[in-house]
Chain A
Amino acid sequence: YGAEGGDSHPVREFGDAATSPAANPGATTIHIEGPSESPTHQPGLPRGSGGEEDDELLGNDDSDKTELLAGQKKSSPFWTFEYYQTFFDVDTYQVFDRIKGSLLPIPGKNFVRLYIRSNPDLYGPFWICATLVFAIAISGNLSNFLIHLGEKTYHYVPEFRKVSIAATIIYAYAWLVPLALWGFLMWRNSKVMNIVSYSFLEIVCVYGYSLFIYIPTAVLWVIPQKAVRWILVMIALGISGSVLAMTFWPAVREDNRRIALATIVTIVLLHTLLSVGCLAYFFDAPEMDHHLPATTAAPNQTAAAAK
């Protein structure tokens, strides 16, 4: 709730009568805002005459302080714990908002500007990647089990080694590709003045959140129908590819036309490679397209004959 204007709202009372708000009722402006409104408020704006010391006395300087410090957020040295805490400075609803933003790309709206707003977090990328690793491994295992259900020669194995392979692939993609992209953008920035430039963490953030759509996709890939699987991967690729393309287009727009297009195409291509490669490797092809998974009781004799 914010109370701007000439109202005086003495929220707390302190003994110092000389500088109490009652002394200058018309000048006190107390603006208390939640963290979601922070980007519209520039840090350091004056809050009305005599307001600063009143705010300090009244102890309402928490929101002021966070705003003032917003520009100097990462000032702790990198070997302290507090430095890394600044990368986890998100609330639950903020994470949900960012996930929602990655699922519904709005043309013209930039994911970074809209949702990240110079508060990139590492919580989302890290745990989305972890969930994706396990989702792919578990769904792959489950889908193989369902496909080969009823075959007398098939012995179920949990295929645990695939978890480590999946983890390596996903985490390498989520960290090395942003690193390469960031290096490339920095290099282009030194040659051509770009209006929009992203920090490394913001790029990691975008890539991390754009991978979220693959989690339900991997779960739905348990369905052993080829057509269904390809439709799912097309949808997922469309959504996350467009989020990435719309994020990075403003960063390369001012550059040479061909380089800009090549950058966007490369980003989307790598994304395609990841999704199709993962899904092809971890999920067996359903050879028996025309059979639904047999019920567990009856052995599927026709499947053996069809082979």
Chain B
Amino acid sequence: MAKAAESSGDPGTTTPRPLFAGLSDISISQDIPVEGEITIPMRSQIQEFDSSTLNESVQNTIMRDLKAVGKKFMHVLYPRKSNTLLRDWDLWGPLILCVTLALMLQRSSVDSEKDGGPQFAEVFVIVWFGAVTITLNSKLLGGNISFFQSLCVLGYCILPLTVAMLVCRLVLLAEPGPVNFMVRLFVVIVMFAWSIVASTAFLADSQPPNRKALAIYPVFLFYFVISWMILTFTPQ
């Protein structure tokens, strides 16, 4: 191959040949360096990552998602100004919370002929359509938060109210009376305030400054309605 390279390399010493005649003789060899580098950084690592999540055990996958959800729960329970809920949003947490809340709030089927508490579907629709409406409202007012980030925050901040629902259900097992009601009222009020503080901590920064109150008020209404449903829950 060196011979062919030499012969094409110095046309002056040989007899004139047609253009590119010697091109077919050339094959890429170690002698002709290729300029530049074609290396994709971390390419091997990415391939490793892909195959590792495909090959990992199901338990690993589930535990990873559960840990992410649990980490966000902690962020809601101790709200500081942080970006975790916004950066890696997921909708698993809101779904778990909404289903739990709706299961606990639904009225039993024997009561269906009278006006009673909400059905499972009604609670579900209120939570999700309420969250969607608030998100649309905040985007229309000019907030720069993405649709699913906002849904994620609103869904996760239902956690204190779900805890309140659990506590109320336990308290209702005791004998009914004004003390019973007072305890439930106190718990619901505290958890309602906690929800508002948590969601405001995450959402407030994304709103334009002269419209913050306009964007926060629907959040207040949303959690107020959910708190009312929790407070007025009566077991049949």
Contact = CB atoms under 8 A, between A and B. Distances in A.
B137 A158 contact: no
A160 B137 contact: no
Interface string A11-54: 00000000000000000000000000000000000000000000
A162 B233 CA distance: 16
B217 A157 contact: no
Given A92-B211, A92-B214, A158-B116, A141 B140 contact: no
Contacts of A130: 218, 221
Interface stretch (B38-46, B67-75, B224-232): B224-232
A91 B214 CA distance: 8
Contacts of A93: 210
Nearest to A164: B122
A157 B218 contact: no
A130 B139 CA distance: 18
Nearest to B217: A127
B178 A297 contact: yes
A162 B178 contact: no
A161 B119 CA distance: 10
A87 B118 CA distance: 33
Interface string A122-141: 01000100110010001001
A84 B115 contact: no
Categorize the interface residue count of chain B: 20 to 34
Given A85-B142, A138-B228, A159 B115 contact: yes
Chain B interface mostly helix, strand, loop or mixed?
helix
Interface residues of A, number: 26
A134 B115 contact: no
B1 interface: no
A159 B114 CA distance: 8
Chain A interface mostly helix, strand, loop or mixed?
helix
Interface of B: 111, 114-118, 122, 137, 139-142, 178, 210-214, 217-218, 221, 224-225, 228-229, 232-234
B54 to A, nearest CB: 38
A95 interface: yes
A131 B221 contact: yes
Contact of A158 (B139, B218, B229): B229
Most-contacted residue by chain A among B214, B221, B229 (CB, 10 A) = B214
Most-contacted residue by chain B among A81, A138, A157, A162 (CB, 10 A) = A157
Most-contacted residue by chain B among A81, A93, A160 (CB, 10 A) = A160
